[in-house]
Chains A and B, each alone.
Chain A
Amino acid sequence: MENEIIFKKEIAPGVKTIKVRAPLIAKKTKSGQFVILRVSEDGERVPLTLIDWDPEEGTITLIFKEVGASTRELGRLEVGDIIHDLVGPLGKPSKIALYGKVCIIGRGVAIAAAYERAKKLKEVGNNITTIISARTSKFLIYKEEFKKLSDRFYIVTDDGSEGIKGYASDILKKLLELNERFDLVYAVGAATLMRNISDITRPYKIKTIVSLNSLMVDGTGMCGCCRVTINGKPKFVCIDGPDFDAHLVDFEEFKARIHMYDEEEKTALKIMREI
């Protein structure tokens, strides 16, 4: 059945991967695109990055971290359950081309999205340096896959429980100071990480792309909830992105806007726990 979950696995604490039957979406998806889903009749429209898709099998793979009420609700669905609404693929595909030397940076649950892009960039012949980071060791995902794919591979944790202690931006900074040069840096993860990476590559004039995870409602350009200022002009992440030139993004605005509903998020979670 369409929208049916056919595989589910917890790959890190609170981080789940699901494979869903969605033949139309699987047929059309390109790297960097996303879907919007609703878990139930009264559910929020939740955007999630497409991590993998198989047009032949007619399936898509999504990865999410249970943070708010909606992702927790999604996490409760089991194999055989149907996702109430699922629509996509949305957003502009990432530009997959031969750049030369590419540095891919991912953090936390977004490591999965970084892996999807890395795989595609590798396929077309790029040399891939990977930096994956997380708060602590248990949140590092896709380690083996990245190890296999990368020409160079770094693991960083905030607490030093695995790999190097520190932040992804520290590693990139050091590499650049050691005269390492990249033709493209691609970063996906928390807003702070993307801003820090952008700040580091700017003086070196290295082309840097970030994938923005703005709040969205419809995802088709109707509401403008996801708007972000790019080079002084308002753009909609859902139709103009999610990939943008990092050096043109107003990160302060982006950070403020993604936290607009933090209070309500907490309320929803509290009520969910009570029920």
Chain B
Amino acid sequence: MQILDIRLKRVPMSELSIEERLKTFNEVALGYSEEQALAEASRCLQCENPLCIEMCPLHIDIKNFIKLIRKGAYEEADEKIREKNCLPSICGRVCPQEKLCVMGCKNTIGDPINIGGLERFIADWNLEKGMKIPDISQFTGKSIAIVGSGPAGLSAATELAKMGHHIVIFEALHEAGGVLIYGIPEFRLPKKIVKQEIEYIRKIGVEIKTNIIIGKTLTIDDLFDEGFDAIFLGTGAGLPKLLGIPGEDLCGVYSLNEFLIRINLMNAYTFPYKSKTPIKVRGKVAILGARGMDAARCALRLGAEEVSIFYQKKIVGRIDDIRRGIEEGVKLQSSTKPMRLIGNEKRWVKQVELIRLKQVVDSRTGKPKLIQEESSRIFYNAETVIVATEHIPNTIATTNTSRNIRISNKQKTIIVNPETLEASNGIFAGGDVVSGAATVIKAIEAGKKAAKSINKYLMNKH
């Protein structure tokens, strides 16, 4: 009976207690111990046709890395993952596995395997131990400039470096990692992990130059003049979009990006004794938009009296993190739409006015739609407001250049050939800057795809 029980239930991953979580920014999910990882790995059915692999955008050989874990061959398991994914300890933590690999898990009689948990265990174990440098092809004599050190850039850089090219990444901020550093909070993805993964990428020969803004400090033309043979733009989707409602200019109103940059990149939660960058969280906090779970959890840790996320349809995020946020006290207010922000005489926000939305069936299309219930207004007394709508790409990199790079009018994304990801002769782009805001793993996938076509482009050119 006991054996069956183990088979059915997923090995739970230890977490910090809710009390401890609210006091610090320490990582909440503590990862599997070796014993736990072995127990979880033993639950895998080792299917004939593993759907999990098909569902993973990078097609990591999940079946075999789990098999290697079972054998205790942790180094080989890590190599198996890294064949396909250059940032496994990051993906193990931040991928929405329930919508990807885990969705393909056919362990139908019990819980699906915690693939992310196992990926994280293996990657952490090897990062901690120190990994050997993989085989790198002979130097090709070609140099590639990568713009942006987020997941797309890091992935393209890793692939191209392994092929024997010389790679330089240019990062506008003072720290490498892009959204992994400025966007994802410490309690979900510790910076130490990001730094270790980047350190490994440096070891395979990738050079990273911070504090250089392509389009300002250097231009795309400068990069070609300096002798780079190709350029990859992985500049992400870093520009906030405001709601366009009255009162967004009031003090105490943050864009999601500003709130997260202050906390994640600038460590404002250690102000004033360590970090010199302040952040202000007072009274009740209203988060306007479905992308606000990370900000909501940060606000609770910074002493907010109450935190509510107001959104229309569906909250964005990984299921585990949404669950943890709710456990920590985040309140979800679906089917609401902000109308205006109301300030006090000193121009500080004091209240948000929202309207309730009701789902009705559209008589024309027969599909459900949301309509405003004019009689149902909500007044929420918030002294801190965070606007958490979607982000759009920052196009600074493509300015001040003679090269013709097309940008879509509405979404501000770079237009590329979908097969080759080429935006202009010798210039490639991928990740959020092409797709609009998406996931880390999708950006890694795009980086790999671009690396392949850049290599082809360079090898055909003499």
Contact = CB atoms under 8 A, between A and B. Distances in A.
Interface of A: 24-25, 28, 38, 42-45, 69-70, 73, 84-90, 217-218, 220-225, 227-229, 234, 239, 250, 252-253, 256-257, 260-261, 264-265, 267-268, 271
Nearest to B346: A256
Contacts of B182: 222
B280 interface: yes
A85 B278 contact: no
B347 A45 contact: no
B365 interface: no
B248 interface: yes
B271 interface: yes
B213 interface: yes
Contacts of A90: 213, 216
Contact of A87 (B174, B242, B272): B174
B249 A223 contact: no
B276 A227 contact: no
6 contacts: A218-B173, A234-B249, A250-B249, A260-B280, A268-B271, A268-B276
Given A42-B276, A69-B276, A228-B249, 12 more contacts: A87-B172, A88-B217, A218-B173, A220-B216, A220-B238, A221-B238, A221-B396, A222-B239, A256-B346, A256-B348, A264-B271, A271-B273
A222 B261 contact: yes
Interface string B44-66: 00000000000000000000000
Interface in B218-257: 218, 238-240, 242, 248-249, 251-252, 255, 257
B266 A89 contact: no
A203 to B, nearest CB: 26
Given A221-B396, A271-B273, A42 B267 contact: yes
Contacts of B238: 220-222
Given A220-B394, A256-B347, A257-B249, A85 B210 contact: yes
Question: 6 smallest A-B Cβ distances: which pairs?
Answer: A264-B278, A223-B258, A256-B347, A85-B174, A87-B211, A224-B255
Using C-beta atoms within 8 Å of the partner chain, give the interface range for chain B: 35 or more
Contacts of B265: 218
Contacts of A268: 271-272, 276, 278
B367 interface: no
B212 interface: yes
Contacts of B267: 42
Contacts of B277: 44-45, 217
Contact of A260 (B239, B251, B272, B276): B251
A256 B394 CA distance: 27
Contacts of A227: 242, 249
Nearest to B219: A28
Contacts of A44: 266, 276-277
A73 B276 CA distance: 11
A45 B266 contact: yes
B258 A224 contact: yes
| Candidate in B242, B267, B272 with the most chain A CB atoms within 10 angstroms | B272
A192 B66 CA distance: 66
A105 B112 CA distance: 69
Interface string B273-310: 11111101000000000000000000000000000000
Contacts of A257: 249, 251, 347
Nearest to B271: A264
A234 B275 CA distance: 29
